[in-house]
Amino acid sequence: MRIAGDNSFADREKGKAAIRAAIAAGYTHFDHADVYSDGNSESIFSEVLREESALRDQLIITSKCGILQSSNPDIAITKRYDFSREYILRRVDESLQRLGIDYLDLLLLHRPDYLMDPEDVASTFDTLMEQRKVRNFGVSNFRPSQLSLLQKYCSVPLLANQIEINIDNISALTDGTLDQCLEHGITPMAWCPLGGVAYPA
């Protein structure tokens, strides 16, 4: 959820107005990521949460981690990922702090890290659950084989795979991704369902 714009006061106010309108319309699930607007989207969301103390328990709050952003402003697209225990734990703590909440309903690994140690990731998930910082786990943009590998080591089911699916991209229908979701009760979460993607999730 990119709602920070250029993070000016005016854009932040527009972002908060959009969140309030979504909640008033009945939206209950809000999807964040540590890299969206460098974390500013999460901090804007926290300002709305603080306006009504009972709101947190009415919402499902998701965030994602694992993408390493380049420190070079001339590099617009990152190809680096980090699923190490230290990195995941730190990024979850930072997201919780920005959001002003005690736990995430769902944590997703943002994009596959080809150097992932699935056993280490699964152990990290266990730690986050024991610390009551995350209630459920899933992935984003994972191929069926990648999800299956991670699930093999996890003590709890992976609940979701957030994937691009729209009229311009139907690969999830043909590569086994949706078949796997149906077979194992995994929720597919569509990003850019109307197409016209400007930024990858």
Give 181's Cβ-side CA count (13 Å radius): 22
- H or E element in which residue 90 lies: helix 85-99
State yes or no: pLDDT of 4 exceeds 90: no
**Domain boundary assignment for the chain:** 9-191
What pLDDT was estimated at residue 198?
A: 55
Q: What pLDDT digit, counting tens, does each position of 82-112 carry? A: 999 999 999 999 999 999 999 999 999 999 9
What pLDDT was estimated at residue 35?
A: 86
Structure tokens at 129: 């659950």
Is CATH 3.40.50.170 correct for 9-191? no
CA gap 158, 150 in Å, rounded? 9
Which residues make beta-bridge pairs with 30? 61
Q: What is the DSSP track for 18-57?
A: HHHHHHHTT--EEE--TTGGGGHHHHHHHHHHHH-GGGGG
Structure tokens at 179: 């078949």
Please tell me which residue in 27, 36, 87, 199 is annotated as part of the active site.
36
Closest CA to 14 of 26, 2, 24: 2
User: How far, in whole angstroms, is CA 75 from its chain's centroid?
Assistant: 22
- Which pTM was predicted? 0.89
What pLDDT was estimated at residue 196?
A: 64
State yes or no: pLDDT of 200 exceeds 80: no
Q: What pLDDT digit, counting tens, does each position of 130-149 carry? A: 999 999 999 999 999 999 99
- Identify whether 36 is a catalytic site residue: yes
State yes or no: pLDDT of 75 exceeds 80: no
- Which segments of the chain are extended strands (E)? 29-31, 60-65, 67-68, 80-81, 106-109, 137-140, 160-164, 187-191
